[in-house]
Homo-oligomer: A and B are copies of this chain.
Amino acid sequence: MAINIAILGFGTVGSGVAETLDVNKDVIAKRVGEEILVKHILDIRDFPESRFAGLVTHNAEDVFTDKDIKIAVETIGGAKIAYEFTKRALSSGISVVTSNKELVSTKGPELIKIAQENGCCYLFEAAVGGGIPIIRPLYKCLAANKITRIAGIVNGTTNYILSQMKDEGLDFDTALKQAQANGFAEANPSADIDGIDAQRKLSILSTIANDGEYIAPDLISAEGISKISVADMEFAASIGCEIKLIALYECGEDKPVCYVAPTMVDKSNLLYNVKDVFNAVMVDGNSLGRAMFYGQGAGTLPTASAVCGDVLEAAMGNPSESRAWTSESVDITPYDEIVADIVIRVDNAANVTVKGYACVYLSEEAILINGIKHKDIEAVMTETGAKSWMHYLK
């Protein structure tokens, strides 16, 4: 007996899944108790060079009318055809495993519900942090905690660009071009550099941390990295920081706080040392204290590793793996009301005072204000004659 699966979309991740399931088939069969076989690969393209070429079909009916298929791997991406295929599979009781953060973050509530109604799973460990285990540890290992904060570097492209700017002294445009040349950024890099990818991943992490009370991505304020200058990088270094694109969730006193923003990360923080395309997610729980999950946040095989872990889980059939999300998004703290720590760049820090706030002197040019409301920042900037500010994470 074998468990038959289909791969929908044979791009970078989809082909890595076929490869991983094949290379590790012996250990996998031992662990699951049965072989896992790729029976169909659905794509509009042909792959004559691939050793899996014989499995390719262009006809979705070949997959959906095949009663042998227990699991579909959705590695199409986007929220159009991937959405239709996922709904169709789950409605037929076929478990779906995916790395598609856009679809999970926008349609997760509906798709998880369909899975539950049909006794199958919708699993998406690979949608955040690539190969890094984070979704399942949050759901399972930290299940007895109230998650108070998550701070993560969840986009490898921007982290690579920022690392290059820092280490090589490149400006943003040059670093982006280099990232594109090295295959670490797309031809159209907007989803990465504008923080949209991080926003989607934060939506998923926040919803889980917020106990399934869904937080839609479009509610989350996201600022990208395209305005970061060489001078900003040097300024950060002068106060012992590196600039990272941080996705932040806090449970908040009233409503959850979520945003994506370039942030001065102090060298005492573990995220400071996360370089290049690596990702890391730092989680605070009220019993756990602090834990960090680190690894390759993207790439064919690391992402395939996470997808395949979910395939094995679905093969062993644990329906408790997907927990319900509310169908409507809950409210989060409006951007203006968020209370944050910020660094302000000024001409002469020693002379600066700010009405109503204690200022921490960081350097001749930098003061830190702990716990200021976003809507008060502009007035403080005017008051101090400051040029720029940025979020700060110690």
B313 touches A301 (CB 8 A): no
Q: Does A386 contact B (CB under 8 A)?
A: no
Cα distance, A293 to B320, chains bound together (Å): 24
A300 to chain B, nearest CB (A): 9
Cα distance, A80 to B287, chains bound together (Å): 29
Q: Which residues of B contact A228 (CB under 8 A)?
A: none
Q: Does A30 contact B (CB under 8 A)?
A: yes
B142 touches A309 (CB 8 A): yes
Cα distance, A318 to B313, chains bound together (Å): 11
A289 touches B295 (CB 8 A): yes
Q: How many copies of this chain does one complex carry? A: 2
Cα distance, A125 to B145, chains bound together (Å): 15
A294 touches B296 (CB 8 A): no
Q: Which residues of B contact A286 (CB under 8 A)?
A: 23-24
B302 touches A295 (CB 8 A): no
Q: Given contacts A286-B24, A288-B296, are A305 and B31 in contact (CB under 8 A)?
A: no
Q: Which residue of B lies closest to A274 (CB)?
A: B270
Cross-chain contact of A287 among B24, B136, B140, B320 (Cβ < 8 A): B24
Q: Given contacts A31-B143, A140-B313, A294-B270, are A305 and B320 in contact (CB under 8 A)?
A: no
Q: Does A306 contact B (CB under 8 A)?
A: yes
Q: Does A37 contact B (CB under 8 A)?
A: no
Q: Which residues of B contact A296 (CB under 8 A)?
A: 288-291
Q: Given contacts A133-B137, A291-B131, are A143 and B273 in contact (CB under 8 A)?
A: no
B273 touches A144 (CB 8 A): no
Cα distance, A133 to B318, chains bound together (Å): 19
Q: Which residues of B contact A287 (CB under 8 A)?
A: 16, 20, 23-24, 131, 301-302, 304-305, 308
Using a CB-CB cutoff of 8 Å, which residues 132-176 of chain A contact chain B?
Answer: 132-133, 136-137, 140-146
Q: Which among A131, A133, A144, A288 has the highest number of chain B CB atoms within 10 Å?
A: A144
Q: Which residues of B contact A132 (CB under 8 A)?
A: 291
Cα distance, A18 to B300, chains bound together (Å): 43
Cα distance, A286 to B27, chains bound together (Å): 12
A295 touches B291 (CB 8 A): yes
Q: Does A55 contact B (CB under 8 A)?
A: no
Q: Which residues of B contact A299 (CB under 8 A)?
A: 289
Q: Given contacts A131-B287, A287-B305, are A141 and B136 in contact (CB under 8 A)?
A: yes
Cα distance, A296 to B288, chains bound together (Å): 8
Cross-chain contact of A316 among B273, B302, B320 (Cβ < 8 A): B320
Q: Does A360 contact B (CB under 8 A)?
A: no
B288 touches A301 (CB 8 A): yes
A285 touches B270 (CB 8 A): no
Cα distance, A273 to B301, chains bound together (Å): 27
A131 to chain B, nearest CB (A): 4
Q: Which residues of B contact A306 (CB under 8 A)?
A: 141, 288
Cα distance, A141 to B136, chains bound together (Å): 7
A-B pairs with beta carbons under 8 Å apart, 12 shown: A20-B144, A24-B146, A28-B144, A125-B141, A131-B287, A131-B289, A131-B291, A143-B312, A144-B305, A144-B308, A270-B273, A287-B308
List 6 tightest A-B contacts by C-beta distance, closest first: A144-B308, A291-B295, A133-B141, A287-B305, A133-B137, A288-B305
Residues of A with Cβ closer than 8 Å to B?
Answer: 16, 20-21, 23-24, 27-28, 30-31, 125, 131-133, 136-137, 140-146, 211, 270, 273, 285-296, 299, 301-302, 304-306, 308-309, 311-313, 316, 318, 320, 323
